[in-house]
């Protein structure tokens, strides 16, 4: 099943039987059978009828509202799942420092190894970058298993992340590169694309958590903070580089999006409708791409891996930690 993205200003969701209609000024732009949807994302000035919202809730299909800048405004979801024993186990594990540390180490390790794969491929094409970023990432990968607390894990993860982005930005054209990762608001086109991608990826993970029965707001690597979906962000980490970063890199290098596709308001940089549509098409195609987990040999689309990863973590929460090994690619 797929995500329906609606970005055209003035559009509205309507219900027709078991179909969801996207209309504009009385014209039907798109009709989607309800059975094909896993979630709906409205971006910008898009509305909905009460009947359409009620149909989505009855079908247990979440609806997300996202601003044009890529910020999550809110989610409309059906009542929380019925797996109370799993949530109780989840909350107990989240209060166990030793369990949190072990899970955090595995998440950080998978994130950095997947990012290292992307950086290695970039450096193979751009040898002038040198091996410095890879060496700094290797230092972090060696240090993380020895970390004594979550602060040390996050510290090494941050250092490795800066090394990774030092290589990543060198693979972009001069008119679309960036100095450093920034957000709230993003202050250049690439950061605007990355922020939107990470927001969408987080929504995918929140949905996966809700389907499985975990609380997306109680995490292990990310600290608790009011309103932050910490567990969803934990699960996002191994996918950032291999999903969002590669989508952005390809769009920029193929000139599918250009500087003229962005506007500046205050300190923030925002996507035009054209750039938004192209990004969403590329992001959706990436989620449908199949990938093999080199540990297990399981080959699924990224979209299906999201739920699989969440179920693996749920099994670890309820039983053996060895059942949780985040997705790794070669």
Domain CATH for 195:
1.20.120.920
What is residue 225's predicted lDDT score, i.e. its pLDDT?
74
If asked whether residues 35 and 155 sit together in one domain, one would say no
Which pair of structure tokens corresponds to residue 189? Answer: 């086109």
204 in the same domain as 291: yes
Place of tokens 């309820």: 318
Taking the CB of residue 319, how many other CB atoms lie within 10 A of it?
Answer: 11
The yes-or-no verdict on residue 197 having pLDDT over 80 is yes
**Residue 329 lies inside a defined structural domain of this protein:** no
Separation of CA 33 from chain center: 25
What is the domain range of residue 150?
84-323
* Length of the chain (residues): 330
Q: Both 111 and 183 in a single domain?
A: yes
Residue 39's pLDDT is 84
Instruction: Give the mean pLDDT of the chain.
Output: 90
What pLDDT does 263 receive?
86
Q: Which of 76, 105, 124 is the last residue of a domain?
A: 76
Tell me which H or E stretch contains 282: helix 273-288
Mean pLDDT, rounded, for 140-146: 97
- Report which of residues 2 and 299 the model is more confident about: 299
Mean pLDDT of 205-216: 90
The band of 182, judged by pLDDT with boundaries at 50, 70 and 90, is confident
On whether both 67 and 202 belong to a single domain, the answer is no
Residue that wins the pLDDT comparison between 86 and 264: 86
How many structural domains are present in the chain?
A: 2
* Pairwise CA distance, residues 266 & 254, whole Å: 28
- The pLDDT value given to residue 1: 60
Contacts of 118 (CB under 8 A, 6+ apart): 164, 168, 241, 242, 245, 246
Mean local confidence (pLDDT), 289-316:
90
- Reference 149, options 98, 108, 111, 107; nearest CA is 98
Q: What does the pLDDT average to over 26-42?
A: 87
Identify the CATH number of the domain in which residue 23 sits.
3.100.10.20
């Amino acid at each position: 099943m797929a995500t329906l993205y609606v970005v055209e200003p003035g559009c509205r969701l309507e219900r027709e039987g078991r179909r969801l209609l996207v209309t504009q000024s009385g014209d039907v732009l798109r009709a989607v059978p309800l059975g094909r949807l896993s979630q709906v994302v409205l971006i910008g000035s898009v509305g909905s009828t009460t009947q359409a919202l009620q149909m989505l809730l009855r079908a247990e299909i979440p609806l997300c509202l996202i601003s044009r800048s890529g910020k999550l405004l809110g989610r409309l979801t059906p009542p929380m799942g019925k797996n109370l024993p799993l949530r109780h186990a989840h909350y107990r594990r989240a209060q166990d420092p030793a369990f949190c540390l072990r899970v955090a180490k595995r998440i950080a390790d998978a994130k950095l190894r997947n990012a290292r794969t992307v950086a290695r491929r970039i450096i193979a094409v751009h040898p002038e970058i040198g091996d410095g970023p890879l060496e700094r990432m290797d230092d972090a990968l060696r240090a993380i298993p020895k970390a004594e607390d979550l602060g040390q894990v996050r510290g090494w993860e941050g250092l490795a992340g800066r090394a990774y982005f030092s290589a990543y930005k060198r693979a972009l054209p001069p008119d679309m590169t960036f100095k450093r990762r920034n957000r709230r608001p993003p202050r250049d086109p690439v950061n605007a694309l990355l922020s939107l991608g990470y927001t969408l990826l987080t929504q995918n993970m929140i949905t996966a958590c809700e389907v499985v029965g975990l609380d997306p707001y109680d995490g292990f690597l990310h600290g608790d903070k009011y309103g932050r979906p910490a567990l969803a962000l934990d699960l996002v980490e191994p996918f950032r580089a291999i999903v969002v970063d590669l989508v952005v890199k390809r769009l920029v290098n193929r000139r599918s999006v250009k500087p003229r596709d962005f506007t500046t308001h205050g300190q923030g940089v925002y996507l035009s409708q054209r750039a938004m549509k192209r990004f969403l098409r590329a992001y959706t195609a990436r989620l449908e791409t199949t990938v093999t987990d080199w540990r297990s040999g399981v080959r699924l689309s990224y979209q299906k891996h999201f739920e699989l990863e969440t179920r693996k973590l749920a099994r670890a929460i309820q039983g053996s930690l060895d059942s949780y090994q985040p997705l790794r690619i070669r």
